[in-house]
Amino acid sequence: MRIGVLLTMGFLEAEAAPVLDAARILREAGAGLEAFTLAKSRHALEGAAGSVWTARYALPARPELDVLVVPGSRSLARAARDLQIELWLEEVWPRLQAVFLGANGPVFLGELGRAPQLVAAHPAYAGEVKRYAKLGHETAYAVGKVTTTAGYLFLLGALLDHLQSAGFDIEPVLEQMALAFD
Protein backbone atom coordinates (compact mmCIF):
# COMPACT_ATOMS: atom_id res chain seq x y z
CA MET A 1 0.00 0.00 0.00
CA ARG A 2 1.29 3.45 -0.89
CA ILE A 3 0.35 6.43 1.24
CA GLY A 4 0.93 9.94 -0.06
CA VAL A 5 0.99 12.87 2.36
CA LEU A 6 0.17 16.09 0.49
CA LEU A 7 2.12 19.08 1.76
CA THR A 8 0.86 22.61 1.22
CA MET A 9 2.30 25.87 2.54
CA GLY A 10 1.65 26.10 6.27
CA PHE A 11 0.80 22.40 6.66
CA LEU A 12 0.47 21.04 10.19
CA GLU A 13 3.66 19.13 10.92
CA ALA A 14 1.90 17.59 13.93
CA GLU A 15 -0.39 15.78 11.47
CA ALA A 16 2.10 14.88 8.73
CA ALA A 17 4.94 13.56 10.90
CA PRO A 18 2.98 10.94 12.92
CA VAL A 19 1.51 9.48 9.71
CA LEU A 20 4.97 9.16 8.16
CA ASP A 21 6.45 7.75 11.36
CA ALA A 22 3.67 5.19 11.75
CA ALA A 23 4.29 4.01 8.17
CA ARG A 24 8.02 3.76 8.91
CA ILE A 25 7.35 1.64 12.01
CA LEU A 26 5.06 -0.70 10.05
CA ARG A 27 7.52 -0.98 7.16
CA GLU A 28 10.34 -1.83 9.59
CA ALA A 29 8.05 -4.49 11.10
CA GLY A 30 7.74 -6.08 7.66
CA ALA A 31 4.52 -4.56 6.36
CA GLY A 32 4.22 -3.94 2.63
CA LEU A 33 3.70 -0.26 3.12
CA GLU A 34 5.31 2.88 1.78
CA ALA A 35 4.59 6.48 2.74
CA PHE A 36 5.98 9.58 1.14
CA THR A 37 5.41 13.30 0.94
CA LEU A 38 4.27 15.02 -2.22
CA ALA A 39 3.62 18.62 -3.15
CA LYS A 40 3.06 20.81 -6.16
CA SER A 41 6.83 21.05 -6.55
CA ARG A 42 9.96 20.01 -4.69
CA HIS A 43 10.52 23.55 -3.40
CA ALA A 44 10.81 23.94 0.36
CA LEU A 45 7.53 24.40 2.24
CA GLU A 46 7.31 25.98 5.66
CA GLY A 47 4.98 24.22 8.06
CA ALA A 48 2.72 25.91 10.58
CA ALA A 49 5.27 25.40 13.37
CA GLY A 50 8.11 26.83 11.28
CA SER A 51 9.92 23.70 10.16
CA VAL A 52 10.87 23.54 6.50
CA TRP A 53 10.19 20.38 4.52
CA THR A 54 10.88 19.40 0.95
CA ALA A 55 8.46 16.90 -0.53
CA ARG A 56 9.93 13.65 -1.76
CA TYR A 57 7.91 13.91 -4.97
CA ALA A 58 6.45 16.70 -7.04
CA LEU A 59 2.91 15.88 -8.19
CA PRO A 60 3.85 15.18 -11.83
CA ALA A 61 6.63 12.74 -10.80
CA ARG A 62 4.96 10.90 -7.93
CA PRO A 63 4.37 7.15 -7.92
CA GLU A 64 0.86 5.76 -7.86
CA LEU A 65 -0.80 5.99 -4.48
CA ASP A 66 -3.59 4.10 -2.75
CA VAL A 67 -4.22 6.45 0.15
CA LEU A 68 -4.03 10.23 0.27
CA VAL A 69 -3.52 12.09 3.54
CA VAL A 70 -4.09 15.85 3.55
CA PRO A 71 -2.80 17.49 6.73
CA GLY A 72 -4.53 20.64 7.85
CA SER A 73 -3.16 23.99 6.65
CA ARG A 74 -4.20 27.62 6.61
CA SER A 75 -3.62 27.58 2.84
CA LEU A 76 -5.77 24.57 1.88
CA ALA A 77 -8.40 26.63 0.05
CA ARG A 78 -5.72 28.36 -2.02
CA ALA A 79 -3.99 25.04 -2.71
CA ALA A 80 -7.25 23.49 -3.93
CA ARG A 81 -7.80 26.40 -6.32
CA ASP A 82 -4.37 25.77 -7.89
CA LEU A 83 -5.05 24.31 -11.35
CA GLN A 84 -2.12 21.88 -11.18
CA ILE A 85 -3.32 20.43 -7.88
CA GLU A 86 -6.93 20.31 -9.07
CA LEU A 87 -5.99 18.44 -12.26
CA TRP A 88 -3.73 16.07 -10.33
CA LEU A 89 -6.50 15.20 -7.85
CA GLU A 90 -8.96 14.68 -10.69
CA GLU A 91 -6.49 12.24 -12.27
CA VAL A 92 -5.74 10.20 -9.13
CA TRP A 93 -9.19 10.32 -7.47
CA PRO A 94 -10.68 7.24 -9.20
CA ARG A 95 -7.73 5.07 -8.13
CA LEU A 96 -7.58 6.19 -4.50
CA GLN A 97 -8.84 3.65 -1.99
CA ALA A 98 -9.08 6.20 0.81
CA VAL A 99 -8.58 9.90 1.57
CA PHE A 100 -7.88 11.15 5.10
CA LEU A 101 -8.26 14.82 5.97
CA GLY A 102 -6.68 16.67 8.88
CA ALA A 103 -7.89 19.55 11.04
CA ASN A 104 -9.50 21.62 8.27
CA GLY A 105 -9.24 19.17 5.38
CA PRO A 106 -12.87 19.56 4.31
CA VAL A 107 -11.87 23.02 3.03
CA PHE A 108 -9.57 21.35 0.50
CA LEU A 109 -12.22 19.00 -0.86
CA GLY A 110 -14.93 21.64 -0.47
CA GLU A 111 -13.12 23.97 -2.86
CA LEU A 112 -13.06 21.10 -5.35
CA GLY A 113 -16.71 20.15 -4.86
CA ARG A 114 -15.79 16.81 -3.27
CA ALA A 115 -16.43 17.38 0.46
CA PRO A 116 -18.92 15.04 2.12
CA GLN A 117 -22.04 16.73 3.50
CA LEU A 118 -21.20 15.86 7.13
CA VAL A 119 -17.61 16.34 8.27
CA ALA A 120 -15.33 16.48 11.28
CA ALA A 121 -12.86 19.29 11.86
CA HIS A 122 -10.77 20.82 14.61
CA PRO A 123 -12.74 23.46 16.56
CA ALA A 124 -10.17 26.13 15.66
CA TYR A 125 -11.19 25.74 12.01
CA ALA A 126 -14.95 25.27 12.50
CA GLY A 127 -15.98 28.61 11.00
CA GLU A 128 -13.96 28.03 7.85
CA VAL A 129 -15.12 24.43 7.43
CA LYS A 130 -18.82 25.29 7.88
CA ARG A 131 -18.72 27.18 4.58
CA TYR A 132 -18.24 23.86 2.77
CA ALA A 133 -20.13 21.23 4.75
CA LYS A 134 -22.16 20.55 7.88
CA LEU A 135 -19.85 20.17 10.86
CA GLY A 136 -20.68 17.19 13.06
CA HIS A 137 -19.81 16.55 16.69
CA GLU A 138 -17.66 13.44 16.22
CA THR A 139 -13.87 13.37 15.86
CA ALA A 140 -14.07 11.48 12.56
CA TYR A 141 -16.60 10.76 9.82
CA ALA A 142 -16.11 8.28 7.01
CA VAL A 143 -18.23 8.81 3.90
CA GLY A 144 -17.31 6.66 0.94
CA LYS A 145 -13.56 6.85 0.49
CA VAL A 146 -13.24 10.13 2.43
CA THR A 147 -12.58 10.28 6.16
CA THR A 148 -12.64 13.73 7.73
CA THR A 149 -11.14 14.11 11.19
CA ALA A 150 -10.64 16.65 13.94
CA GLY A 151 -7.00 16.42 12.96
CA TYR A 152 -3.84 15.84 14.95
CA LEU A 153 -3.88 12.38 16.57
CA PHE A 154 -7.45 11.81 15.41
CA LEU A 155 -6.06 11.80 11.86
CA LEU A 156 -3.45 9.21 12.80
CA GLY A 157 -6.08 7.14 14.61
CA ALA A 158 -8.40 7.09 11.59
CA LEU A 159 -5.55 6.05 9.30
CA LEU A 160 -4.47 3.29 11.71
CA ASP A 161 -8.07 2.02 11.84
CA HIS A 162 -8.06 1.87 8.04
CA LEU A 163 -4.74 0.03 7.96
CA GLN A 164 -5.95 -2.44 10.54
CA SER A 165 -9.14 -3.12 8.58
CA ALA A 166 -6.95 -3.68 5.50
CA GLY A 167 -5.11 -6.45 7.37
CA PHE A 168 -2.07 -4.60 8.70
CA ASP A 169 -0.95 -5.33 12.25
CA ILE A 170 -0.80 -1.88 13.85
CA GLU A 171 0.46 -3.14 17.21
CA PRO A 172 4.08 -2.08 16.53
CA VAL A 173 2.89 1.51 16.04
CA LEU A 174 0.82 1.48 19.20
CA GLU A 175 3.75 0.06 21.17
CA GLN A 176 6.40 2.43 19.81
CA MET A 177 4.24 5.52 19.99
CA ALA A 178 2.68 4.43 23.28
CA LEU A 179 -0.76 5.12 21.88
CA ALA A 180 -4.09 3.49 22.46
CA PHE A 181 -6.89 4.00 19.95
CA ASP A 182 -10.25 2.28 20.17
Instruction: Count CB atoms within 10 A of the CB of residue 87.
Output: 11
Instruction: Count CB atoms within 10 A of the CB of residue 120.
Output: 27
**AA letter at 9:** M
* Per-residue pLDDT band at 73 (split at 50, 70, 90): very high
Whether pLDDT at 181 is above 60: no
Which CATH superfamily, name and number, covers 2-177?
Class I glutamine amidotransferase (GATase) domain (3.40.50.880)
pLDDT of residue 180: 56
pLDDT of residue 63: 87
* Per-residue pLDDT band at 143 (split at 50, 70, 90): very high
pLDDT of residue 11: 98
Whether pLDDT at 110 is above 60: yes
Long-range contacts at 80-86 (CB < 8 A, ≥ 24 apart): 80/107, 80/108, 80/109, 80/110, 80/111, 80/112, 81/111, 82/40, 84/40, 84/59, 85/40, 85/59, 86/112
How large is the angle between the packed helices 13-28 and 153-165, nearest 10 degrees?
A: 30
For the segment 94-114, the average pLDDT, to the nearest whole number, is 96
